[in-house]
Amino acid sequence: MSLGVMQCFGEVSDFKYTTSVMMTADGDQMDLRRIKSVKVQMPNSMEYQPVDCAIVVNAAGAFSGKLAEMLGIGLGPKDSLAGIPVPVEPRKRYVYVVHCPDGPGLDTPFLIDYSGVYFRREGLGGNYISGASPEEVEEPDASNLEVDHQFFENKVWPKLADRVPAFEKLKVTSAWAGFYDYNTFDQNGIIGMHPLINNMYFATGFSGHGLQHSPAVGRAVAELILDGEFKTLDLRGFSFRRILTQEPMLEQNIV
């Protein structure tokens, strides 16, 4: 913002774009789109702001797949490039704040149990935050942000108390829910351009570790825009190509 960026809060409701028709080597028709402007619905208002643009960065997190659908991505024939969706969807996760005066001290690290339950100390008052990702078959309803306190009672607390016996006497003081931008393909980020949209860059699908990756991803996307290639780190493996070729980039020990 200090360099002249105008920050605008709202929800993208539509795009204006041009379409160029190209033929593949196999004789199939391919529609290439170029975004001309973005329609942004202003909060608590019927007004919208059209934003003319030369470049769009889709960093819409859990809703980046929905944004791509507005440009026809994933809506084409199933056996075509346009029929392959951006595999990112919202997955709801809970964070619980607990109080335990006799819990681990100030030098406690961020601890992740082998079961997937995690905790870390929060401030000086004996407070901690904790949570865990549910099993695939237990994924909660992502249409709301209601907190399931029974999930803590049944899945999180027993593991916490097993790891740190002092947590047997903890008390939950508050909790909240939020969305992961969950990449259903391989739970890893998607960085770079989509082959059918020649001025939209993606930075999405980090499945819960995007905050940790964000400094590097921000630099990487800036390099793609300014230099046309990665300079600092070679992140070509995170491109959309691996989804087209069905080559997942899987990691072990992801929480």
Report the pLDDT value the prediction gives residue 29, as an integer from 0 to 100: 82
Using the structure block, give the residue that is written with the tokens 């930075």: 203
Q: What is the pLDDT of residue 104?
A: 94
| The pLDDT value given to residue 218 | 95
The whole-number pLDDT of residue 183 equals 96
List for the chain the helix, strand, coil content (%; round to 5). Answer: 25, 35, 45
How wide is the angle at C-alpha 91 spanned by C-alphas 86 and 95, nearest 5°? Answer: 145
Dihedral sign for Cα 90, 93, 95, 96, please.
Answer: positive
DSSP H helices, the chain, are 64-69, 149-151, 157-163, 210-227, 241-244
Give 155-196 pLDDT, tens digit per residue.
Answer: 999 999 999 999 999 999 999 999 999 999 999 999 999 999
In this prediction, residue 8 carries a pLDDT of 82
Half-sphere exposure of 14 (CA within 13 A, CB side): 5
Segments of the chain with pLDDT less than 50: none
Query: Residue type at 109?
Result: P
Cα–Cα distance, 148 to 132 (Å, whole number): 12
Q: Which residues contact 92 (CB under 8 A, 6 or more apart)?
A: 139, 140, 141, 142, 145, 177, 178, 179, 180
| pLDDT for the residue numbered 30 | 86
For residue 12, give the amino acid letter: V
Determine the length of the chain. Answer: 255
Q: Which tokens belong to 126?
A: 């004996």
- The confidence score (pLDDT) of residue 85 equals 95
